[in-house]
């Protein structure tokens, strides 16, 4: 019985122990599974998919390769948030660090009246001495502050193109900041006038390396206009401005909105300027334009604080009074209004007196029509000579009595208005002046209107119909680089640059050719041009190459002495290579002795192509060959 009872106890104990063990195993498995799932979900949510999670009892094992040490630490911390940190086993590794990337090479260049400053990082392979020399030349005696650092990394392919372009730009910009890297050049500068701003923008846009992105921001002081004038009219040709000046962007918006509502469809050339007499200028002009629209036509002139409204012929008195009254009460206090309702002129069998001045595209000026006396006739001729320079003046005027008061002033004002045009005509009548023609000045219409208002008064009736022609604009009409080379070819088609025998001295007879080439290049602006020298095959090859180099450099020096900017030019002698004719004949040798001008195209964008303009060199090129007689008979 005792044995039996003991066995029962042992069996019960064993069963209980087995049950407890099984329950513990099951509990551990559940805890392990839930821990692994919780940690894995957390790592995935936080973007650590590269980590794998394993369970080992109550421990959670992390394996995988972290991109950086910091990311590895964050992954372990994320796992520790879900289970006790002591249960997290770190089996993570870290990827090998990448090689250190090359730094970005860049230069900030600041130029002002105090000198030139440079700061930035340049490649060790860059020619720092050459850079310093070019900057010193540009500074023209003013201090140069060099804060450049050097890094020994490979030079970007487009680095030199960007730097060379920036230095060429710096020569033209005495007050500027230029930011340079291998891909982009950013230019911020200040010019002396709007005209200079346009010239610089045109110049900088030309010959830009194709591999470089360019951003240009050139500021210019606003012009001072006196009297501050806007003139708007509506006639049979529609609504248009003869002159338009505003002081702020807000005023510009007011004026253009009013003009658009009055029927203006063309682009208005309004000038942001200084000299406004009142801060309410935009409001006054907009109201005045609205009055012209209400009249259905006419002209309004706002000069400083004086507003002159002229109704169209045939306007009813009631309508005129209503519009004038509304405008007079609406204008800001500083402005004074005068108005005019024209009457129909009486017809005359003889017709009104008239004076006409015309300017041809070739510069020929003709003055015709009625003049009150001989003194006025002489004054008109001398005034035309002064305004048109060396133009040919043809006088077709005749003396007449009974001309209106102020006729002489109107004639001289018409001649001066004509001088603002490239070609055109001015017709002066007692009640009107008509100015029509072409110009290369975008502001010519406004300048003519201000001139006539100043000379004849605000109430003067005149019509200005001037067309801007880009080809006549001395800035926008600059020739392209290819056109410059073509023009050199035209100039030198039947003439040659010659040299003294066996030397690199340009002969006296060739100086005129160089003069003409220099004038073309001055108009062409900043170009990259190669001046190449060639010889015939007589004499030793080494001597031929040396002489051709000297002659190419002589042409470059001659251009520089004529104030051609040759900083971007290259002079290269090719000797007897690339003949264009047979060296066995005298005519062929003469053709092979030549200077060629070609455009330099950056290697990074294309192979060099050129429109060659051959300027044959008259004189022989080298010492006699070893087989030739040595006597000097005045030829090579």
Nearest CA to 230 out of 329, 308, 117, 345 is that of: 308
Q: What is the pLDDT of residue 621?
A: 47
Q: Are 324 and 315 in contact (CB under 8 A)?
A: no
**End-to-end Cα, the chain, rounded Å:** 147
Check pLDDT > 50 for residue 636.
no
Same domain, 502 and 611: yes
Domain count, the chain: 5
Look up the domain containing 485 and give its range: 481-616
Residues 570 and 549 in one domain: yes
Q: What is the mean pLDDT of residues 623-631?
A: 38
Per-residue pLDDT, 21 = 61
If one counts every other C-beta atom within 10 angstroms of the C-beta of residue 359, the result is: 25
- Whether the per-residue pLDDT at 174 is higher than 60: the answer is yes
Task: State residue 605's pLDDT score.
Answer: 41
Q: What local confidence, expressed as pLDDT, does residue 630 receive? A: 36
Which of 178, 199, 219 is the last residue in one of the domains?
Answer: 219
Mean pLDDT of 10-18: 69
CATH number at residue 279: 3.40.1520
Report field, pTM of the whole predicted structure over 0.85: no
Q: Work out the percent of the chain whose per-residue pLDDT is above 70.
A: 87
pLDDT digits (tens, 9 = 90+) for 543-581: 888 888 998 899 989 888 888 888 778 899 988 888 888
CATH code of 388's domain = 3.40.1520.20
Q: Has residue 628 been placed in a domain?
A: no
Answer whether 595's CB lies under 8 Å from 497's CB. Answer: yes
Query: What is the chain's mean pLDDT, rounded?
Result: 83
Check whether residue 443 and residue 503 sit in a common domain: no
- Measure the CA–CA gap between 384 and 414, rounded to whole angstroms: 10
Query: Is it the case that residue 470 has pLDDT exceeding 60?
Result: yes
Average pLDDT over residues 20-29: 62
Do 140 and 215 touch, CB atoms closer than 8 A? no
Residue with tokens 């001495």: 129
Strands ordered across the beta sheet of 88-94? 52-56, 59-66, 88-94
Tell me the mean pLDDT in the region 495-504: 78
Does residue 516 belong to any structural domain of this protein? Answer: yes
501-527 mean pLDDT? 82
Q: Do the Cβ atoms of 315 and 344 come closer than 8 Å?
A: no
Residue 417 in 3-state DSSP?
helix
Least confident of 24-38, 138-152, 249-263: 24-38
| Residue that finishes a domain, picked among 413, 442, 472 | 472
Least confident window among 22-31, 432-441, 502-511, 566-575: 22-31
Tell me the torsion sign for CA atoms 478, 483, 484, 488. negative
Average pLDDT, stretch 344-360?
A: 74
Report the range of poorest mean pLDDT among 96-105, 148-157, 218-227, 557-566: 96-105
- Alpha carbon dihedral 501, 507, 513, 517, in 10-degree steps, equals 90
Among 72-81, 284-293, 346-355, 428-437, which stretch is predicted with the lowest mean pLDDT? 346-355
Residue recorded with tokens 């392209």: 480
Whether residue 438 sits in one domain with residue 490: no
pLDDT in tens, 228-283: 999 999 998 899 998 999 999 999 999 999 999 999 998 888 988 989 999 999 99
Place of tokens 């002795």: 593
Residue 202 is assigned to a structural domain of this protein: yes
pLDDT at 628 over 50: no
| Average pLDDT over every residue of 18-28 | 62
Residues 77 and 116 in one domain: no
Are 420 and 501 in a shared domain?
A: no
Give the tens place of pLDDT for each residue, 452-466. Answer: 988 888 888 888 988
Same domain, 250 and 173: no
Residue 345 lies in a domain: no
Residue with tokens 């004074």: 336
Asked if residue 486 and residue 563 are part of one domain, the reply reads yes
Per-residue pLDDT at 603 exceeds 80: no
Strand partners, 399: 371
Q: How far apart are CA 180 and CA 178, in angstroms?
A: 6
Can you tell me the distance from the alpha carbon of 185 to that of 161, in angstroms, rounded to the nearest whole number?
10
Indicate the residue among 33, 64, 94 that finishes a domain.
Answer: 94
Helices 249-261 + 281-295 axis angle, to 10: 10
CATH number at residue 88: 3.30.1340.30
On whether both 398 and 464 belong to a single domain, the answer is yes
Q: Are strands 106-112 and 88-94 parallel, antiparallel or unpaired?
A: unpaired
* Strand-pair category, 423-429 with 432-439: antiparallel
């Amino acid at each position: 019985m005792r044995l039996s009872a003991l066995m029962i106890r042992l069996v019960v104990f064993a069963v209980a122990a087995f049950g407890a063990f099984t329950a513990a195993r099951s509990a551990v498995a559940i805890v392990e599974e839930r821990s692994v799932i919780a940690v894995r979900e957390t790592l995935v949510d936080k973007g650590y998919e590269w980590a794998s999670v394993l369970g080992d009892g109550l421990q959670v094992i992390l394996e995988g390769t972290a991109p950086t040490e910091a990311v590895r630490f964050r992954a372990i911390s994320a796992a520790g948030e879900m289970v006790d940190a002591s249960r997290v086993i770190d089996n993570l590794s870290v990827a090998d660090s990448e090689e250190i990337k090359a730094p970005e090479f860049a230069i900030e260049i600041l130029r002002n009246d105090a000198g030139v400053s440079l700061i930035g990082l340049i490649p060790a392979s860059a020619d720092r001495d050459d850079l310093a020399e070019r900057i010193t030349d540009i500074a023209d005696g003013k201090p140069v502050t060099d804060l450049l650092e050097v890094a020994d990394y490979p030079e970007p392919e487009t680095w030199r193109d960007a730097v060379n372009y920036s230095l060429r730009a710096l020569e033209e910009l005495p007050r500027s900041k230029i930011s340079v890297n291998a891909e982009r050049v950013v230019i911020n500068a200040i010019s002396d006038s709007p005209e200079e701003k346009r010239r610089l923008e045109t110049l900088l846009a030309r010959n830009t390396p194709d591999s470089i992105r360019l951003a240009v921001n050139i500021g210019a002081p606003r012009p001072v206009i006196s009297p501050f004038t806007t003139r708007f009219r509506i006639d049979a040709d529609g609504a248009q401005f003869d002159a338009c000046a505003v002081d702020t962007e807000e005023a510009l918006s007011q004026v253009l909105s009013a003009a658009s509502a009055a029927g203006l469809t063309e682009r208005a050339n309004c000038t942001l300027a200084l000299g406004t007499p009142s801060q309410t200028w935009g409001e006054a002009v907009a109201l005045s334009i609205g009055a012209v629209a209400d009249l259905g036509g006419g002209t309004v002139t706002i000069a400083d604080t004086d507003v002159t409204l002229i109704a169209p012929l045939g306007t009813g008195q009631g309508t005129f009074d209503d519009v004038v009254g509304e405008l007079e009460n609406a204008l800001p206090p500083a402005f004074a209004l005068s108005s005019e309702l024209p009457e129909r002129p009486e017809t005359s069998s003889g017709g009104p007196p008239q004076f006409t001045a015309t300017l041809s595209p070739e510069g020929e000026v003709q003055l015709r029509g009625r003049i009150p006396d001989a003194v006025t006739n002489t004054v008109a001729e001398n005034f035309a000579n002064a305004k048109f320079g060396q133009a040919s003046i043809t006088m077709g005027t005749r003396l007449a009595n009974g001309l209106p008061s102020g006729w002489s002033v109107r004639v001289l004002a018409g001649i001066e208005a004509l001088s603002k045009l490239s070609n055109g005509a001015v017709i002066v009548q007692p009640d009107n002046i008509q100015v029509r023609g072409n110009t290369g000045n975008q502001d010519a219409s406004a300048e003519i209107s201000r001139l006539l208002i100043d000379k004849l008064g605000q109430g003067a009736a005149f019509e200005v119909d001037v067309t801007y022609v880009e080809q006549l604009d001395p800035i926008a009409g600059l020739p392209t680089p290819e056109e410059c080379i073509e023009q050199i070819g035209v100039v030198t088609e039947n003439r040659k640059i010659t040299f003294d025998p066996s030397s690199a001295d340009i002969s006296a007879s060739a100086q005129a050719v160089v003069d003409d080439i220099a004038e073309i290049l001055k108009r062409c602006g900043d170009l990259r041009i190669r001046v190449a020298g060639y010889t015939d095959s007589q004499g030793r090859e080494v001597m031929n190459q040396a002489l051709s180099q000297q002659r190419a450099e002589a042409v470059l020096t001659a251009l520089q002495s004529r104030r051609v900017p040759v900083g971007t030019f290259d002079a290269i002698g090719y000797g007897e290579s690339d003949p264009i004719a047979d060296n066995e004949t005298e005519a062929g040798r003469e053709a092979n002795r030549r200077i060629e001008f070609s455009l330099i195209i950056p290697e990074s964008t294309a192979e060099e192509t050129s429109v060659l303009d051959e300027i044959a060199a008259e004189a022989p090129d080298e010492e006699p060959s070893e087989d030739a007689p040595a006597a000097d008979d005045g030829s090579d």
